[in-house]
Structure 1
């Protein structure tokens, strides 16, 4: 039996990048899904997964920053599949700028999507999980903000660090009601968001920015979205039944070295 067979997952930011990777792994392991994204391209991604894995999937085009839309997405999921077993709060944004030039609009954009989006999604699914007697929530935080940071990432770092606090609080609040809440802390994966950050960092040669990221990773490469999806699948499955409130770093070891120039290698 596949580890997610019989599970119903709602996945945000599911059209491309990490969300697509998460959805693909969930499809591989037999989950039914509602794939949510702001982009209508989410239906194209869902259609590919239906064809490749025979997955039972519905899609919802909506904005995680809009609480009413997230409640509607959750309602449609429960109506179609009868429950919501797992919620993967993956949708997120990152824009780079010097702090003194960061506009209030850019700051609030990060807050609206990265913090309020996760808040809205959790509030939308938890009533169904309480009604059915439990569930799992997996929140995409980051090593950025809680562990490390780069210049120009003030809004991203602030909002991703906030998700660690939300994870811990929800984990404690719902532990006796059989809802587990954990967060992943990703380093860098090759996604459209990281490619956009590379353009913002080095407009003349964005690929060099990508290569430089890999240089700083002991494994010398960025993650594949499906590798991150495997962690989301573990946390969404019964295999992680005694884990809640956990922060699991998945970064190829990038936060481990004290320096990149000292040592025997």
Structure 2
């Protein structure tokens, strides 16, 4: 294990079975955090076992829970406290994205986004903050997105709405708990190579989803998608004391994708 900035901290990470959550958990283990990996999928235990194999000294528990169910998140936070003695960091990463034309999007799809993306973060924060108040400190990192708050694509109405809402929640919680030493920040990711993005690519281009992913990279100045562990490094910074004077911030991590004014004008 690499001794590091998260040593001694207990972190609850949602959506940890795959994709960004897996990358976050891997980086947290690298920096010495004690981790509760939470996911709706039972595969979270397999992912935890893989990370234990990488970092044998890491203290990791896996909990199968639905972020949309408040009691299940209260129970997950309690298990974190029981296992490690504290809940110092929460990485509210679990999220979903389904594409559909707005006029055809069923209420069930809209509500699915609200339940996971908004209520899931709300429930996670309400579950962990009481323990942080007991400790007199804590850090929460919320996975928002560039989508909704900065940019959007057709068919993303539910996703964009819910991810933009998380920016407002971040700012409010940051103000509300600042004098009690709980910091709340959010990431605004562009695209990373994750199962969710691969599913979106299938929805966008069923005949050739890989071309949809390649076309994303074309529009990114760095010409690639993020690796989940690169996002994990940002979450590690937001959860560590290195970011001790940072709260209420929106940190864009998108390879520069929101910077170009056009794709056709310029000297390059």
TM-score by length of 1: 1.00
Aligned match for 2:16, one of 10, 14, 17: 14
Aligned with residue 227 of structure 1, among 220, 225, 230: 230
* 1:3 correspondence with 2:5: yes
Q: Name the SS for the 1:243 alignment partner.
A: coil
Structure 1 partner of 2:239: 236
Aligned residue for 1:31?
A: 33
Rounded Cα–Cα distance in structure 2 between residues aligned with 1:238 and 1:132:
15
* Structure 1: distance between partners of 2:43 and 2:157: 30
Q: Does 1:116 align with 2:123?
A: no
For 1:243 and 1:32, the matched residues in 2 are separated by: 22
SS in 1 for 2:37: strand
Distance 2:28 2:225 in 1: 21
> Which 4+ runs in 1 deviate beyond 3 A?
none
Q: Name the structure 1 match of 2:101.
A: 98
- Cα distance between partner residues in 2 of 1:80 and 1:191: 29
Q: Which 5+ residue runs of structure 2 have no aligned equivalent? A: none
SS of residue matched to 1:156: helix
Q: 1:40-189, aligned counterparts within 5 Å?
A: 40-54=42-56, 55-189=58-192
Name the CA distance, whole Å, in 2 between partners of 1:125 and 1:182.
15
Counterpart-to-counterpart distance in 2, 1:207 and 1:125: 39
**1:58-97 alpha-carbon deviations (Å, 9 max, x no partner):** 1110100000000000001001100001000000000000
Structure 1 gap ranges (5+): none
TM-score, scaled to structure 2: 0.98
- Structure 1 residue 51 displacement after superposition: 1.5
Distance 1:153 1:52 in 2: 36
Q: Tell me the secondary structure at the aligned position of residue 128 of structure 2.
A: helix
Task: Give the superposition deviation at 1:188.
Answer: 0.1
Distance 2:53 2:80 in 1: 20
CA shift, 1:200, in A, is 0.1
Aligned residues: 265
